[in-house]
Amino acid sequence: MNWFLKGVRKGVRTEKTPSDVAPWSTELQFKGIEEESGVTSESLRCPTSAIGPGWIAERCVYCRRCYPHYQPTGNHRMGVVKRVEKRFQRSFYLYPIDVGTCGACNTELRLIASPQHDLTRFGIFFTNTPRHADALIVMGIMTKGMREAFRRAYEAMPEPKLVIALGACAISGGIFQTEKIEADVVIPGCPPSPYTILDALIRAKGGRGW
């Protein structure tokens, strides 16, 4: 009861929708590294070889070892959408699968369903079965025990289907530099923020993004 009354007192706290915010910028997060010459992964002791040439967002684990070259611009538009599926414009069902995470990617993904972000207003939903899923969201490094589960989940999904790699571990193997998961959409970050996640998901189904 208390939480209910607290919510009523505070009012609606949902973040603004894409149409309410300024147009996105194409600036990269690590502008300083991008522009500087002679800066390499070795010279800055980058654990994932994410520097040179330029900054490789897909590999960065945001350890900030490269400080003070680290100059975040605050741009959340980091996702790379390689395939847009407009058939999911009105309803886009996601099936998340954790193949070996530290837990942080899961937490950020869960936040897109919070009242603050409210994914359903964009026609995006979670499903608890791959049989009803339009996209498989894979997080973490591919561990031996989850390889078969991942394959079976993917095969159980109806066509057309998308694979979304969420976080540096899924995209490039993270700090372990293990296997890279082939995906239609990659969402860099360690972990990516709910803004970055929602922006990429909206664009993957043919929207303008966040």
Residues at the site binding ligand SF4, with contacts judged by CB under 6 A: 44, 46-48, 50-51, 60-66, 70, 101-102, 104-105, 139-140, 167-169, 174, 190-191
Q: What is the closest distance, in whole angstroms, from the C-beta atom of residue 40 to ligand SF4 in the complex?
A: 11
Q: What is the closest distance, in whole angstroms, from the C-beta atom of residue 61 to ligand SF4 in the complex?
A: 5
**Cα–Cα distances in Å, from 120 out to 26, 123, 126, 168, 200?**
27, 5, 9, 26, 15
Comparing CB distances to ligand SF4, the nearer of 108 and 184 is 108
Cβ–Cβ contacts within 10 Å for residue 176, how many?
A: 13
Q: What is the closest distance, in whole angstroms, from the C-beta atom of residue 89 to ligand SF4 in the complex?
A: 28
Q: What is the closest distance, in whole angstroms, from the C-beta atom of residue 36 to ligand SF4 in the complex?
A: 12
From CA 41, how far away is CA 51, in angstroms rounded?
5
Residue length, the chain?
Answer: 210
Comparing CB distances to ligand SF4, the nearer of 43 and 114 is 43
Comparing CB distances to ligand SF4, the nearer of 84 and 104 is 104
From CA 152, how far away is CA 128, in angstroms rounded?
14
Q: What is the closest distance, in whole angstroms, from the C-beta atom of residue 126 to ligand SF4 in the complex?
A: 18
The 162-166 sheet, strands edge to edge = 80-81, 185-187, 162-166, 135-140, 92-100, 124-126
Comparing CB distances to ligand SF4, the nearer of 130 and 167 is 167
> If DSSP states are collapsed to H, E and C, what string results for 118-152?
CHHHHCEEECCCHHHCCEEEEEECCCHHHHHHHHH
Comparing CB distances to ligand SF4, the nearer of 133 and 139 is 139
